[in-house]
């Protein structure tokens, strides 16, 4: 079981994901440079949060052309496991691996704080150790986290239970007040039709050790490791 964490110029959460995988999940992990096509036989790839070069044009718009993303698209098509966090979620949408787009937050302000997200589906390799309806406390830190898609795409996501996380209150209520960025339908994370690609705005690696204030985010990595072990 081997993880790969992609590094783009400007990435600043790649080491956080690497640390969580290596030191907390105790799994082999390597960095993958954005200019390389080689995924180094990884079983799962993390597209980390932070920033990628060209984000000043539109988040992920330039990063999607990196050679590594060509390999990631092929990897996903063959059932490879991919987790996109924050900026990684944006890049996955820009790359066509996930539908929709991430726009500027409602109010045009950067938001950085712990939020509650409700687990809407445990039928993924990323959430199978969670409970249906469980509320996780995980930090966010973004300027463009406002998820949007057209009505037909939203209906498809809802029908196929591909909305994996939604912003909620601590008791699991889906309310406008619980939505930190204006995301359509309080969406905080979605998966692809094959359920092997997940994009999420909250940072699970920032909530994977008690020293960080909570361990709810580690359930995402725990689920991945368990799924890879079974595979």
Q: What is the pTM of this model?
A: 0.96
CA distances from 45 to 7, 60, 149, 160, 174 (A): 11, 17, 25, 24, 30
Q: Tokens for 136?
A: 């996780």
Domain 3-230 class? alpha beta
pLDDT at 225 over 90: yes
Half-sphere exposure of 152 (CA within 13 A, CB side): 0
Q: Cα–Cα distance between 66 and 33 in angstroms, integer?
A: 9
Active site residues: 86, 203, 205
Among the listed residues 119, 151, 120, the one whose alpha carbon sits nearest the alpha carbon of residue 138: 119
Among the listed residues 57, 127, 48, the one whose alpha carbon sits nearest the alpha carbon of residue 89: 48
Q: Cα–Cα distance between 60 and 52 in angstroms, integer?
A: 7
pLDDT at 55 over 90: no
Q: Cα–Cα distance between 41 and 36 in angstroms, integer?
A: 13
Q: Quick one: average pLDDT of 83-88? A: 97
Q: Tokens for 18?
A: 């690497």
CA distances from 145 to 12, 56, 78, 128, 206 (A): 17, 15, 28, 25, 17
Give residue limits of the domains in the chain: 3-230
Q: Kindly report the number of other CB atoms within 10 A of residue 203's CB atom.
A: 24
Q: Considering the chain, what is the average pLDDT of its residues?
A: 96
Does residue 195 contact residue 227 with C-beta atoms inside 8 Å? no
Q: Could you tell me if residue 209 is left (phi over 0), alpha (psi between -120 and 50 degrees) or otherwise beta?
A: beta
Handedness of CA 132, 136, 138, 142 (dihedral sign): positive
Q: Quick one: average pLDDT of 198-221? A: 97
pLDDT at 231 over 80: no
Q: Quick one: average pLDDT of 204-217? A: 96
CA distances from 97 to 122, 190, 203 (A): 20, 11, 19
């Amino acid at each position: 079981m081997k993880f790969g964490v992609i590094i783009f110029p400007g990435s600043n959460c790649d080491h956080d994901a690497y640390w969580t995988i290596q030191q907390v999940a105790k799994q082999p992990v390597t960095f993958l440079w954005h200019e390389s096509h080689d995924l180094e036989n990884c079983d799962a790839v993390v597209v980390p949060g932070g920033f990628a070069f060209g984000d000043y044009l539109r988040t992920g718009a330039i990063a999607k052309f990196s050679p590594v993303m060509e390999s990631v698209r092929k990897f996903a098509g063959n059932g490879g496991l991919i987790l996109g966090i924050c900026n990684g979620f944006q890049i996955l949408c820009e790359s066509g691996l996930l539908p929709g787009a991430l726009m500027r937050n409602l109010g045009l302000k950067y938001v950085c704080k712990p939020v509650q997200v409700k687990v809407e589906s445990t039928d993924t390799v990323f959430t199978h150790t969670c409970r249906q309806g469980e509320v996780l406390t995980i930090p966010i830190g973004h300027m463009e986290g406002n998820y949007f898609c057209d009505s037909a795409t939203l209906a498809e996501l809802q029908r196929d239970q591909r909305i994996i996380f939604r912003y909620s209150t601590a008791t699991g209520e889906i309310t406008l007040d619980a939505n930190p960025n204006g995301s359509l339908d309080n969406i905080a994370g979605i998966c692809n039709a094959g359920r092997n690609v997940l994009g999420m705005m909250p940072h699970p690696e920032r909530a994977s050790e008690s020293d960080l204030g909570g361990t709810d985010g580690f359930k995402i990595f725990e689920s991945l490791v368990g799924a890879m072990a079974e595979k």
